Each structure stands twice: as structure tokens, then as C-alpha cells.
Amino acid sequence: MLDRKMQPLLESRRLLSCVVFMAIFLMIFSCSVLLKSSSRYLIPESVLMLVLPNKTSELGTRINYSDDPRRNAPLPLITVSGKRTTSENQDGVRRNSESLNRKCDLNQALLKVYMYDLPLQFHFGLLGWKGKGYQIWPDVGNVDNVPRYPGGLNLQHSMEYWLTLDLLSSNTPGVMRPCTAVRVMNSSAADVIFVPFFSSLSYNRHSKLEGKEKVSKDRFLQDELVKYLMNQEEWRSSGGKDHLIIAHHPNSMLEARWKISAAMFLLADFGRYPTEIANLKKDIIAPYRHVALSVGNESAPFEKRPILAYFQGAIYRKDGGMIRQKLYQLLKDVKDVHFAYGSVRQNGIRHASRGMASSKFCLNIAGDTPSSNRLFDAIVSHCVPVIISDDIELPFEDVLDYSEFCIFVRASDAVKKRFLLNLLRRVTRADWTKMWQKLKEVAHHFEYQYPSKQGDAVQMIWEAVSRKISRVHLELHKENRFRQQLIE
């Protein structure tokens, strides 16, 4: 009788034991799967933020207004994963991750690039890096061996650095990056010849005479570069037309540009170039590297941006920049407009980041040149840019429609009394939100980072080079039509 009563109890205990056993088994199995995965959530956020190249790469960004010196200097560090960060579907993420993890197939690369082995005084030597023995290039597969680019406003024109790192990493095992551009070791197999001269850094750091110098170091390097190029068979065979040279700072390559004008230049704009030296037919406009903080996923919507229009920077400029003074007089006393002088000093970058992230519209006004990094600061702040610069040329405009996320105003209209204010106040919440959403979609196209990622500024530049180089090859092939007869 007692045994009959105990039987249900024993069966219940057995069932409970089975449930507990299964639960423990599933928990252990789940943990093992997670540990083998590349999920970023297993890494403490404090550590993860150190290894991400910019604050929009993998995590939603929280703006940190504390004085962190890392904010003004890029950390060329290896990312945790090769996943895209745009709002794409899971299948798209999976396909992209797989493409990044497999070895690049040279035959499938969009662009094959031959890079001159210039002496290190032209590139990483300008960063104070010294190789061992005859070493020209740093080991970019080891984060500790990648020299850092100087911070502050130097960063604006650092494209030379990011592109060189990307090419070096294309031959480095273990670095996950897209296979858009791949470095080749034989120039005859190349689509384009890359000249790794850090010309903007050279100008920023060495354009002034030092000590008893009669010629600045920057001028010396330019002269040496011209001599080097003229002695290369690759230059002589194409006249330099298939060479890519970065001169993003408007004053960089000031002397050399006349002698090597046949090359394809990567520029900020054409403000200080005559058309016979630089033009859209052969050259490429690249975005500045923004210095304001990226807002990432914590982008304030319309109602949480109390400032109507924002501008902070140099007000008194020459030439086309005279418009800044006129607009200052028109807008300085408007209650919901911030129009003030500003610089990188006294936490200027921190204040500008906060101001842009709190503004509906950010004014991008012509200065000494048609463009500035202010436009790209606005884009990563998701602050709708108002472009008041009649002669501006914009990066990647053949594939991006800026009218979807920017407002363009002619300079002659902008200086009319209340014209600009009336125009901005007429923009409805719905129309502004549409542009704001588009800004969030395109912001990653203006991020420089190492390793590069699909669709970022580095990859967008390589794609732009590919679109230009086909025209160059067409011209060179036409020139070669009767060359064989001349040789015979």
C-alpha cells in the first residue's frame, strides 16, 4: 500500500531530475556556442570602445564630452568583427561577414593597385616611425606596430594615411577588410599606381623654415618626389596619367603640382587650383576626416534639437569667405541661432560636437576655400547641412544625391535679409525628419577607419578611383594605337 502511494512521488522526482538535467545541459551548450562566436557582447564595453576605430562602428554611440585625449587622435586598431553597421537585413550582414573573412581573390578585386616603395621619409617617417634595418613599411597586422597620425586639425587631411594603411593591409594575413582594392607587386598587373607621400602632413609639419634651412623640408620632399617619379618606368610609360597622388590640404604639393599635373589628384576641392592642373574630368574629391564626435544611434530627433541653425568657426575670411561676416551680422542676435567664433582651443571640438548634435541645421559656409570639414562634422552629427558655397565640389556626388540630406542656398540669396531664416523655418518636421533619416543612412560613407569597412570613406574613394581610371585607360589605349608603327 505504501509502495503504491510512493510511486507517483518517485516518478515526479524522476521527471524533475530530467528537467533539471536538460536545463543544465542546454545552459552549458549555449555558453559553449557563445564563447565560440564573435559576439561583441561578450567583451566589456570599456574594452570594446578602445578597439573600435570610431564610435559608430559597432556600438550605438553615447557622446562623451569629457576631455579624453583619444578623441583627437585616431586609434588605428583592429576591429572586433568585419560586420557592417548599417541597418541591413540579417542575410546581408551574414553575406558581408563571409566576404570579409575569406582571402581576397585578386581576379575579383575591383581595383589592383601598385604602390611605390618610397623611402620612409615620405610617409611613416613623417610620423616619427623608424623601421628596423631596411624596413620601409610597418607591420600593420600588429596593432602595436601601427604608427599613429597626429590629432587635432591635422586629422582633417589624413586620407593619405588611411589609404596607405588599407593597401598594406590588403596583403596582411588576419586583417579583415573588403576586397575592393588589392595591392599588387608587379606594376604591369596594376590598374593604378599609388604614390604614398603624406603631403598634407608634410605641409602641416614642415612647410616653414627651421633653423638655418634655406629650403623647407616640405619643399625638399616635393622636389625629391618629382625626381623619383620622373625616373620611374611606370611614370614614363603613361605620362603619369594612371598615378594617384593625394594632395588633400589645399596648400600641399604647392610647387610639385605643376610638374606632375597629369596624375590623378585626390583633393578637398578645386579652390586653389587652375583648371589645367585639377578638374573633375581626372581628379577625385575626397571627404575631410571629421573632427566632431559621431552621434551614432543616439541621434536626437527634431523636437530634441532646440537650436535652429548652428555655425562655429572663423568668421573673418578672405575671398569667398567674406559671406561669413555678412551672415554673422544678420544672424548673431537671433534667439535660436548659434553663430559664433570658435577654434580647437579651449575645448572647441567638444563644444562644437555638442552644439551640432543639438541643432536642426548646420551652416556650411564658404571660407578661404569652397569646402571645409564642417560639412562632414554636420553629417556625422545628423544635423542637416545648409551648404552656402557656390563653387563647392562634393565627394562621391556621382553616386550620392546630396539634395536628399542637404539644403543648398546660393550665396547671393543667403545674404538677403531674413531669406535664410524664413527658408529654414518653413521646413516642416516631416521634411526635416526625412533628411535626418537619410543622414543616418549615409553617415558611414564619411568615416575613415582602420581596418576599412564596406562602404566607408576609404572604400568609397577606391570605388571612385575605379570609375575614373577606366577613362584614363581609354585615353592611354587610344594613344597606343600607332605607337608600334613608330617603334618599327
CB 444 within 8 A of CB 56: yes
d(C-alpha 76, C-alpha 163), whole Å: 12
pLDDT (0 to 100) of residue 214: 94
Nearest CA-CA partner of 137 in 154, 152, 119, 153 = 119
In whole angstroms, what separates CA 157 from the centre of its chain?
A: 10
Q: Is the peptide bond before 196 cis (omega within 30 degrees of 0)?
A: no
CB 340 within 8 A of CB 286: no
CB 296 within 8 A of CB 56: yes
Delimit the CATH 3.40.50.2000 region(s) of the chain.
302-446
Instruction: Walk along the chain (488 residues) in steps of 10 and give the mean pLDDT of each run.
Output: 50 63 65 44 33 34 33 37 34 41 76 97 96 92 88 92 97 92 96 98 96 95 98 96 97 96 97 95 97 93 98 76 89 94 71 95 93 96 97 97 98 96 98 98 97 97 94 77 61
CB 418 within 8 A of CB 425: no
CB 125 within 8 A of CB 221: no
3-state secondary structure the chain: CHHHHHHHHHHHHHHHHHHHHHHHHHHHHHHHHHHHCCCHHHCCHHHHHHHCCCCCCCCCCCCCCCCCHHHHCCCCCCCCCCCCCCCCCHHHHHHHHHHHHCCCCHHHCCEEEEECCCCHHHCHHHHCCCCCCCCCCCCCCCHHHCCCCCCHHHHHHCHHHHHHHHHHHCCCCCCCCCCCEEEECCHHHCCEEEECCCHHHHHHHHCCCCCCCCCCHHHHHHHHHHHHHHCCHHHHHHCCCCEEEECCCCCCCCCHHHCCCCCEEEECCCCCCCCCCCCCCCCEECCCCCCCCCCCCCCCCHHHCCEEEEEEECCCCCHHHHHHHHHHHHHCCCCCEEEEECCCCCCHHHHHHHHHHCEEEEEEECCCCCCCCHHHHHHHCCCEEEEECCCCCCCCCCCCCHHHCCEECCHHHHCCCCHHHHHHHCCCHHHHHHHHHHHHHHHHHHCCCCCCCCCCHHHHHHHHHHHHHHHHHHHHHHHCCCHHHHHC
pTM of the model: 0.79
pLDDT (0 to 100) of residue 404: 98
pLDDT (0 to 100) of residue 437: 98
pLDDT (0 to 100) of residue 103: 66
Nearest CA-CA partner of 83 in 444, 461, 463 = 444
pLDDT (0 to 100) of residue 90: 36
Kindly give the interhelix angle for 457-479 and 159-169, rounded to the nearest 10 degrees. Answer: 80
Q: What pLDDT digit, counting tens, does each position of 126-147 carry? A: 999 998 898 999 999 987 789 9
pLDDT (0 to 100) of residue 424: 98
Say which CATH architecture domain 302-446 belongs to.
3-Layer(aba) Sandwich (3.40)
